[in-house]
Amino acid sequence: MNKTYAVVGVVGAGAMGRGIAQIAAQAGSTVKLFDVQAGAAATARAAVLLQWDKLHEKGRLDAAELASRRALLAEAGALSALADCDLVIEAVVEKLDVKQALFAELETIVRPDTVLASNTSSLSITAIAARLQRPQRFAGYHFFNPVPLMKVVEVIGGLKTDPAVCDGLQRYARDMGHTPVLAQDTPGFIVNHAGRAYGTEALRIVGEGVADFATVDRILKDQVGFKLGPFELMDLTALDVSHPVMESVYRQYYDEPRYRPSVITAQRLAGGVVGKKVGEGFYRYHDGVAQVPGEPVAPQVADIPPVWVSPRAARRAELLQLLKDLGARIETGVSPSPQALTVVSPLGFDVTTVAVVERLDPARTIGIDMLVDDASTRRRVLATNPATRIDMREAAHALFARDGKAVSVVRDSGGFVTQRVVAAIVNIASDICQQRICTPRDLELAVTLGLGYPLGPLAMGDRYGPANVLEVLFNMQTVYGDPRYRPSPWLRRRGAIGLSLSHEEL
């Protein structure tokens, strides 16, 4: 069995440390597990042994391998017991002073060539190593929970880290059956950085009164294919974990608007409404099951008015064919008749702006999000404007639900829901590449494995069109006047000349 490091120390016997110790022993390394809390290492070791015993009982682990693994995983009674380790991985509390003190002590115990690594998710690798005599042998080694199942690990070099150390850690990740991705020492590294947009943009949508939590979750799952909506995800991870990360990345980037947190999560965290583990978050939980409010049913409308579609509508030909398939009476004049339901499908602009610019009657104007082609989505999303009449809203809802596809009707929003969340995700990912934090390949691997997105963010941008995403951002910046939506140069240049977002410069 491959062993890049024959003897590995793990400091911290919580869920993360326990998982790291498990996969290291499975890779054939002798593992010494230490925790300052009395009995914690023994409890963690027993939990891992129990998992292996169950695999043996199911016939998925033979007796010889079971005995080998059991012999490789041991408790360390003191930190000094790690003196002969080739690698020591720390998985303790996320406090800079605690980690600095731990590694300073370890440096007096281990050999000069022992590699030291931190599993930190949010602290600077350079800052942790600042008190070390040999910072060149120190690196970040960020696993994700649960470690045996989450098959990605971020390898992060600090300013003084020897590149050979990162090379060795990448090899060892592969020994353990994980996929390593190499990141620069920047706030959030890759996964926690790239993941900023999904939750924070959804929170802005709710904060603007565009839609409620459940509607936003439904839209992003049904239109884009996310496994969990952003509010379901935040309930699962819990706000006492996710909100501090939001604040940390925002502050470390000196209040960069793209990462701005939300007062919604701050207030809920203060009130203890943090998620599933306490039975209440964005949803209430009964026996661990989210109590999701029912979805409004499509209204029954006896006589749907004729429909006129803006000549500037995105995917206009596809929209006209859809309306034809739904049995709509379509007007073809240069302007709508006084009775017509007027349909627009902007990219980035809100319905109000389109109605004013195109001189349409806002009372009869409805928007539909056509960023995603209709055949690829399980849900259609309509948007009203402040002047839209109830009869026109209900007529549009009834019409677009005629074939049984789910329809959500939201209030006016630059970029609806899907456009603005997708554009924010693609934009932040593009800027990660622009900053050379990692390669496009490692970005896509890290996000798909670490966050479970249906596509990597660059592939997502390519699927919906870099030029379309760029138009959404430009127009949202006009609507909101917020630098949060300024396009990354990486996206702007590739979108302008028709290149894939994964394309690297020579």
Instruction: State how far the Cα of 12 lies from the Cα of 93, in Å rounded to an integer.
Output: 8
Q: Exposed e or buried b for every residue in 122-159, given b needs 16+ CB within 10 A?
A: bbbbbebbbebeebbbbbbbbbbeebbebbbbbbbbbe
Q: Which two tokens stand for residue 253?
A: 């980037």
3: pLDDT strictly greater than 80? no
| DSSP symbol at 280 | B
Average pLDDT value for residue range 47-58: 97
Catalytically active residues are 121, 142, 154, 192
Question: What's the pLDDT at 122?
Answer: 85
pLDDT tops 90 at residue 289: yes
pLDDT at 199 over 50: yes
Q: Average pLDDT for residues 276-285, to the nearest whole number?
A: 98
Q: What is the mean pLDDT of the chain?
A: 97
Over residues 384-407, mean pLDDT: 98
Longest dimension (CA), the chain: 84
Q: Calculate mean pLDDT across residues 131-136.
A: 97
Average pLDDT over residues 44-56: 97
| Residue 114 · residue 86 · CB < 8 Å | yes
Q: What is the mean pLDDT of residues 233-238?
A: 96
Question: What are the beta bridge partners of residue 114?
Answer: none
Cβ-contact 477, 420 below 8 angstroms: no
What is the pLDDT averaged over residues 232-238?
96
Question: What CA–CA distance (Å, rounded) separates 355 from 204?
Answer: 24
Burial zone of 364 (CB within 10 Å; 0-12 exposed, 13-18 middle, 19+ buried): buried
The residues with which 139 forms a beta bridge, in sequence order, are: 117, 157
Q: Any idea what the Cα angle at residue 246 is, between residues 243 and 249, rounded to 5°?
A: 145
Determine the pLDDT at residue 1. Answer: 47
Task: Name the CA radius of gyration of the chain, rounded.
Answer: 26
Q: How confident is the model at residue 505 (pLDDT cuts 50, 70, 90)?
A: confident
Task: Report the pLDDT value the prediction gives residue 32, as an integer from 0 to 100.
Answer: 98
Residue 2 — very low, low, confident or very high, per pLDDT cuts 50/70/90?
Answer: low
Whole-angstrom Cα distance, residue 113 to residue 123?
24
**pTM exceeds 0.85:** yes
Q: Can you give the length of the chain in residues?
A: 506
Token digits of residue 37: 């809390």
Mean pLDDT throughout 127-154? 97
Phi, psi of 271 (to 5 degrees): -90, 0
